Structure 1
Amino acid sequence: MLADPRRSAPPAPLDLSDAREVLGRVWGHADFRGLQAHVVAEVLAGRDVMAVLPTGGGKSVCYQIPAILRPGVGLVVSPLIALMTDQVEALKQQGVAAARFDSGVPMEERSAIWRAARSGELDLLYVSPEGLAAGSMLERLSEIDLSLIAIDEAHCVSQWGHDFRPDYRSLGRLAEIFPGVPRIAVTATADARTRDDILASLRLGEARVFVDSFARPNLQLSAERKINGSRARTDAAVVDLVRERRGKSGVVYCGSRDGCERVAQTLRDAGTNAIAYHAGFDAKDRDRRLERFLAEDGAVMVATIAFGMGVDKPDVRFVIHADPPGSLEAYWQEIGRAGRDGEPAEGITLYGPSDIAWSLRRLEGRPMAEEVKQVQTRKVRQLFAMLDGAVCRPQAVRRYFGETDAQPCGVCDICGDPPATFDAVVPAQKALAAVQRLGERFGRTRVVDHLLGKTKDVQNWESSLSTWSIGADLSLTAWRDVIDHLLFEGLLVEDPNEGKPIIQLGDPEAVRAVYRGERPIQVRKAPVRVVEAERPRRNAGRNLAVEALDTDVRARFEVLRAWRRDRAAEQHVPPYVIFQDKTLVEIALSEPRTLDALGRISGVGAGKLERYGKGVLEALAAAV
């Protein structure tokens, strides 16, 4: 094995001043944010660490900078090819020696990567957990010096998490194969139980754990209840929402491949540049679709959860869930695709009782231990309780993740227009009793008709029941809301019944608690049906920092965007890996005339200054 020239003499101790120098030189930033400095210091010192940092909080920097500074190659285990490709391309743009191993890398390029790793010319090497376990990968890695091992998206390790991947479970053995190599596990979404499972599974018992705030103050969250689960109405609502944000980049999540393609086509028919993305497309087709989304202004990706993890497109202005995910972790992960540049963005979720029934049925069909299934079922109900609740949405999410001191955000739909609620214990008792008396054999519509005493051609056995017409004091809409709320809370459950759903009693102990009046039930009063009605326009995902620019500054910004788009097309990379919008805004505002002045702008590192500096100055000169 060739000697690593960086290891020919004992390395000097590293500290945060070295890390800040790299941060400024490579990334063009003056200092770390949040808990980044604490995490970096631990890894530089050769100690294991786990970091739970919010989406957009700079998790990757926490292992990339130590990998650059420490002798050897930094090994990064990452779950998706798209994620690896994105990060490696961004690092190359910044002048960092990075490479990846995946099925798309040809053999001759693999040989060159191994040569660079052995000769000390490589800083970071990205692999998937499946690739790590394949062939002689581990054996070959043992022949080179590793500076660190990073497990990205570490929540995939945990069976309690929202995206459990069995291949991640075996990563704990890296502690034995590479003793003495510091390991760092990073994720954006992990509650306390998931964090404990990650530490145990990866054998990080001595690791320091850093958990930053989950606050995303630039995100405006809202949720809208669907009307009777109609696909056509939900699709129309999505079209309206996207139309209000015309020209903005966004993501629409759907629960199925068919739904994904249907909604994408509906949006295209309405004039939106919509791209469908799901695991049913072959790898090359998915890559082409992702490349389009990353490169084209105003593109909207309509995707299943196969899309999104680690995609760092910074200017996504909105995320819409046409179908809600299965947990608050998944919700926060997916909503986190929006506003990664720190500018205002929106997360909008459409939800209804049929969605929770679908989520629970999907859990039933998965092979998992009963204890795990119970936890995942509770996670589903916690998500829907947040969506249908009357508590500030970011506050509810942050408290779920353990931030007990989280305060109302002041900007979500609940804070902006607090819903009125009413004490629904008595109506809940009536509804539960009606379902029970009817033998748990009918759907929601029939139960509501029974409560109102409006069942058509009612038979004597039904009209003689004690629950017949006991709900005449509430409206049809109010009763539907009560039934929906009881389904969200698990007091009622919906059986698909081969396409003719029936509702039945849920958790027996919880039902008894309602009958005894021991469990409070608060239901919204006749919520405004904004899915059908005219919506307030709010910020509509606007990039306010750009829209507030003076005319001449905006003109320079647009010239710089056009220059960036051409450079990106030449290299087949997303425009934002060259410069993010906020960096272009700073350049347009300061209008630097020299390379030195350009290099002082945040986001312009030494590598990009050398590579693009002259072109940026020429573009600015042409804009005058």
Structure 2
Amino acid sequence: MAEAILKEHLYPTLKKYFGYDEFRPKQEAIISNVLAKKDTLVIMPTGGGKSICYQLPALLLEGVTLVISPLIALMKDQVDGLKANGVEADFFNSSQEPEEQQEIFEKVAQGTLKLLYVAPESLSALNDILKETYISCIAIDEAHCISSWGHDFRPSYQQLGFLKRSLPNTPIIALTATADKATRQDIVEQLNIPHAQQFISSFDRANIKLEVRPAENRVAQIIRFIEKRPDESGIIYCLSRKGTENLAEKLQQKGIEASAYHAGLSHEDRSQVQEDFIFDKKKIVCATVAFGMGIDKSNVRFVIHYNMPKNIEGYYQEIGRAGRDGLPSFALLFHTYADVIQLRRFTEGASNEDLQNAKLERMKEFAEATDCRRKILLSYFGEYLEENCGNCDVCENPPKFFDGTVIAQKLLSCIARLKGTEPSGVVIDVLRGAQNQNILGKNLQQLKTYGIGSDIAWRDWQHYLTQLINQGYCEIAFHQQNALHLTQLAKKVLFEKQQVWLTRPQSVQEKKETARKTTPKKASGNSLFERLRKLRYEIAQEEDIPAYLVFNDATLKEIERERPQTDEEFKRISGVGERKLEVYGDVFMNEIRKFHKKKRKKANTHLTTYELYQQGLSVEEISKKRELAVTTIYSHIAKLYMDGKDINIHDFVSQQEIEQVQQAQQELQHPEGLKPYFEHFQEQLPYFKIRLALSVMEKEKK
């Protein structure tokens, strides 16, 4: 049965409702498995197309697909998207009126509802419909929430094991963007689907450029970054509630519309921030990590981490919220030891403290890496790149190594003289010969290493120290106020003359240059893409849905490129299904026609001036009739004369004036532009006469 559905209905359904002609990698195999009523585990990166893996089978199976989702915002977003595609979908939660809930039950009983979204907490209210006569499939989104090994554990998910016991013949599909091997095993065990077929897609999001910068003047760097991308949406993740508010305020002071989002806000305020962001009313959100989970906003162009995340899973999931439409996007991470120390404090006393600290250590290693960042990121999830990615800061600016043995000896010797009692800041202050209260109060200026590194900047010492920690010559004793200790390896450097290779720190200026090279150009407000984007925004406002649910940016780009003029051509665009063709096709094709008409009109505007000139109208009369400036009409006259049209040029500029301009050109030694001529004639010869004279001279020269 599944094979017959696959051949006859799969691709037509994909095109009709989702607008795509082809499946992405693994999607077809996953859908076939679900249609064969087999349990399935899907590990697929954010933006990889997880939703279609259960939404499409839902349309082909009898009954309703129950979708377990952790957040109300995610449900509303998904349901809006499905309805925009012409799919019968709804969500169920405790905030709905009893009449609303009853209506949903009736739709389920009648078999008209294809997908029903619900949070785990609300499942108990669905007892009447949790029967195999109604439920065709169960999809568990963000499935990593079930596992205490996962990075976003939610106790409410742990009750979901009852679903397989209650509905043993109903296929379960569990989906997540991030799950290591231990988490995957935990998911299938707790959901009672031990034999589920596992589909693990590539974790590579090649369209996202990865960059890590030192956290020097973070706010100023972020402001510059955003100012280069004035029309783009982005999320900035901060470690604390206060951090989100402080940063949002500083951005607002610079005229950047930014909102803060954190758990301390009221439900209404959080919903408003989220809605403003989804509907493109606010471009920037400064948020704690709760923001963005499951929101399918496809046109987020950048994600910035103001602070370092606590693990690679979290980092990967958060940067995955950028570029879900496949267009070039940016992930920028600021790194400082202060974040590492703070994150260590958060884990103190936790039941899985060792595990959390080990994951934090891997995150720190990623931030401090001198190798291709994408290779490190993918290897964490068990995927290996043979070649460097070419789309991260390390690949674009590979570090140069030098013999740093003397620097290492100075640093390690200083740690030894301090007897492993002081943190990195004090070690560097001693090396640089600082005279602050801490140094003088402890009499540290008496040490032999005091001042031996005064020729090296504080930030550079920090950079070298990080490398020595990474190379295993010293370590941070977090349980002793972050004091630096030497390891056994340090003896080889101090007493056996072992060489140490280090990289020089890359300045923030150099990082800025790298960023500048890859900064996308701002789209022209007159381009077809901008006009289509404006039209999309107006439609979204009328329909009260996010703009990307009309069409995402990738679809708009294809419409701009292909410029369809018929229904058949418009339907061939990726992302255009039957309903979207029916609802939006005419209005978008009309916009394309208007753009072409205006462009042709603009391109031939000087010919319109020529027609009026031939009718005997003066320049002033043409200017009035065409509602154009007199200077513009004179520029048309110059072009028409150069193009060989029948223009009596001496009606506008005399031979004497032409000769004067010729003389001025020789005296001024062929100046650029008209201004030098204007000044040469002491502003007595108008600009239009100078332009016309130069046209005559150029034509005679040719």
TM-score of the superposed pair, with normalisation by structure 1 = 0.86
Q: Give the Cα–Cα distance (whole angstroms) in 2 for the partners of residues 265 and 292 of structure 1.
A: 17
Q: Give the Cα–Cα distance (whole angstroms) in 1 for the partners of residues 2 and 30 of structure 2.
A: 21
Q: 1:86 to 1:455 in 2, by over 3 A?
A: same
Aligned to 1:158: 147
Deviation at 1:94, TM superposition (A): 0.4
Map Cα deviations across residues 286-345 of structure 1 (whole Å, 9 max, x no partner). Answer: 222122112226711211111111222112111111112111111111111111111111
Contact 1:435 / 1:504 at 8 angstroms: preserved in 2?
no
Deviation at 1:536, TM superposition (A): 4.3
Aligned to 2:482: 503
Contact 1:435 / 1:503 at 8 angstroms: preserved in 2?
no
Aligned to 2:390: 410
Q: 1:180 to 1:423 in 2, by over 3 A?
A: farther
Aligned to 1:4: none
Aligned to 2:578: 606
Contact 1:492 / 1:503 at 8 angstroms: preserved in 2?
no
Query: Given residue 336 of structure 2, which amino acid in structure 1 is its aligned partner?
Result: G
Query: Given residue 492 of structure 1, which amino acid in structure 2 is its aligned partner?
Result: E
Look up the SS of the partner of 1:317 in the other structure.
strand
Deviation at 1:384, TM superposition (A): 1.3
Q: Does residue 1:88 correspond to 2:72, yes or no?
A: no
Bigger fraction of residues in helix: 2
Of the three residues 261, 267, 271, the one matched with 2:245 is: 261
Deviation at 1:461, TM superposition (A): 7.8
Q: 1:42 to 1:356 in 2, by over 3 A?
A: same
Deviation at 1:492, TM superposition (A): 3.3
Q: Give the Cα–Cα distance (whole angstroms) in 2 for the partners of residues 308 and 89 of structure 1.
A: 16
Of the three residues 50, 54, 57, the one matched with 1:66 is: 57
Q: Give the Cα–Cα distance (whole angstroms) in 2 for the partners of residues 459 and 78 of structure 1.
A: 57
Contact 2:368 / 2:466 at 8 angstroms: preserved in 1?
no
Aligned to 1:249: 233
Aligned to 1:230: none
Q: Give the Cα–Cα distance (whole angstroms) in 2 for the partners of residues 520 and 59 of structure 1.
A: 50
Q: Give the Cα–Cα distance (whole angstroms) in 1 for the partners of residues 127 and 151 of structure 2.
A: 28
Aligned to 1:492: 475
Aligned to 1:275: 259
Q: 1:406 to 1:168 in 2, by over 3 A?
A: farther
| More deviation, 526-535/206-215 | 526-535
Q: 1:12 to 1:493 in 2, by over 3 A?
A: closer
Q: Comparing both chains, which one has the higher relative contact order based on Cα–Cα distances under 8 Å and sequence gaps of 6 or more?
A: 1
Aligned to 1:325: 309
Aligned to 1:540: 519
Q: Give the Cα–Cα distance (whole angstroms) in 1 for the partners of residues 275 and 430 of structure 2.
A: 54
Aligned to 1:354: 338
Look up the SS of the partner of 1:596 in the other structure.
helix
Percent identity over the alignment? 38
Aligned to 2:463: 481
Q: 1:98 to 1:531 in 2, by over 3 A?
A: farther
Of the three residues 429, 446, 451, the one matched with 2:426 is: 446
Of the three residues 557, 564, 570, the one matched with 1:585 is: 557
Task: Please list, as runs of the form range in 1=range in 2, the aligned pairs for 1:196-595 lying within 5 A after superposition.
Answer: 196-227=185-216, 233-296=217-280, 299-364=283-348, 367-368=350-351, 372-422=352-402, 431=411, 434-435=414-415, 437-451=417-431, 476-485=458-467, 492-493=475-476, 502-505=481-484, 511-515=487-491, 523-530=502-509, 536-541=515-520, 554-555=527-528, 557-595=529-567
Q: 1:591 to 1:139 in 2, by over 3 A?
A: same
Q: Which runs of 5+ in 2 are unaligned?
A: 598-702
Contact 1:153 / 1:186 at 8 angstroms: preserved in 2?
yes
Look up the SS of the partner of 1:538 in the other structure.
helix
Aligned to 1:7: none
Contact 1:357 / 1:493 at 8 angstroms: preserved in 2?
no
Deviation at 1:522, TM superposition (A): 6.0
Contact 2:132 / 2:167 at 8 angstroms: preserved in 1?
no
| More deviation, 593-602/378-387 | 593-602
Q: Give the Cα–Cα distance (whole angstroms) in 2 for the partners of residues 426 and 137 of structure 1.
A: 70
Deviation at 1:70, TM superposition (A): 1.1
Q: 1:424 to 1:581 in 2, by over 3 A?
A: same
Query: Given residue 364 of structure 1, which amino acid in structure 2 is its aligned partner?
Result: E
Look up the SS of the partner of 2:139 in the other structure.
strand
Q: Give the Cα–Cα distance (whole angstroms) in 1 for the partners of residues 456 and 569 of structure 2.
A: 69
Q: 1:373 to 1:488 in 2, by over 3 A?
A: farther
Contact 2:214 / 2:508 at 8 angstroms: preserved in 1?
yes
Deviation at 1:587, TM superposition (A): 2.7
Query: Given residue 353 of structure 1, which amino acid in structure 2 is its aligned partner?
Result: Y
| More deviation, 23-32/417-426 | 417-426
Q: Give the Cα–Cα distance (whole angstroms) in 1 for the partners of residues 442 and 593 of structure 2.
A: 87
Q: Which runs of 5+ in 1 are unaligned?
A: 1-9, 228-232
Contact 1:326 / 1:359 at 8 angstroms: preserved in 2?
yes
Q: 1:161 to 1:147 in 2, by over 3 A?
A: same
Aligned to 1:3: none
Q: CA RMSD in A?
A: 3.2
Map Cα deviations across residues 147-179 of structure 1 (whole Å, 9 max, x no partner). Answer: 111111122222222211122222222221211
| More deviation, 351-360/184-193 | 184-193
Q: Give the Cα–Cα distance (whole angstroms) in 1 for the partners of residues 540 and 471 of structure 2.
A: 49
Q: 1:157 to 1:400 in 2, by over 3 A?
A: same
Deviation at 1:441, TM superposition (A): 4.1
Map Cα deviations across residues 91-145 of structure 1 (whole Å, 9 max, x no partner). Answer: 000011111113443322111111101110111111112222xx43345423752
Q: Give the Cα–Cα distance (whole angstroms) in 2 for the partners of residues 159 and 181 of structure 1.
A: 26
Count of aligned residue pairs for this structure pair: 590
| More deviation, 424-433/94-103 | 424-433
| More deviation, 295-304/155-164 | 295-304
Map Cα deviations across residues 217-245 of structure 1 (whole Å, 9 max, x no partner). Answer: 21111010113xxxxx3222221221222
Look up the SS of the partner of 1:250 in the other structure.
strand
Q: 1:607 to 1:184 in 2, by over 3 A?
A: same
Q: Give the Cα–Cα distance (whole angstroms) in 2 for the partners of residues 472 and 170 of structure 1.
A: 61
Q: Give the Cα–Cα distance (whole angstroms) in 1 for the partners of residues 492 and 520 of structure 2.
A: 46
Q: Give the Cα–Cα distance (whole angstroms) in 1 for the partners of residues 189 and 255 of structure 2.
A: 50
Aligned to 1:37: 28
Q: Give the Cα–Cα distance (whole angstroms) in 2 for the partners of residues 521 and 127 of structure 1.
A: 57
Deviation at 1:65, TM superposition (A): 0.6
Aligned to 2:177: 188
Query: Given residue 218 of structure 1, which amino acid in structure 2 is its aligned partner?
Result: N
Kindly name which structure, 1 or 2, has the bigger radius of gyration based on alpha carbons.
2
Query: Given residue 593 of structure 1, which amino acid in structure 2 is its aligned partner?
Result: Q
| More deviation, 76-85/611-620 | 611-620
Query: Given residue 290 of structure 1, which amino acid in structure 2 is its aligned partner?
Result: Q
Look up the SS of the partner of 2:234 in the other structure.
strand
Deviation at 1:197, TM superposition (A): 2.2
Look up the SS of the partner of 2:5 in the other structure.
coil
Deviation at 1:435, TM superposition (A): 4.2
| More deviation, 40-49/467-476 | 467-476
Q: 1:156 to 1:488 in 2, by over 3 A?
A: farther
Contact 1:598 / 1:609 at 8 angstroms: preserved in 2?
yes
Contact 2:375 / 2:384 at 8 angstroms: preserved in 1?
no
Of the three residues 118, 128, 131, the one matched with 1:142 is: 131
Deviation at 1:436, TM superposition (A): 5.8
Q: Give the Cα–Cα distance (whole angstroms) in 1 for the partners of residues 509 and 94 of structure 2.
A: 46
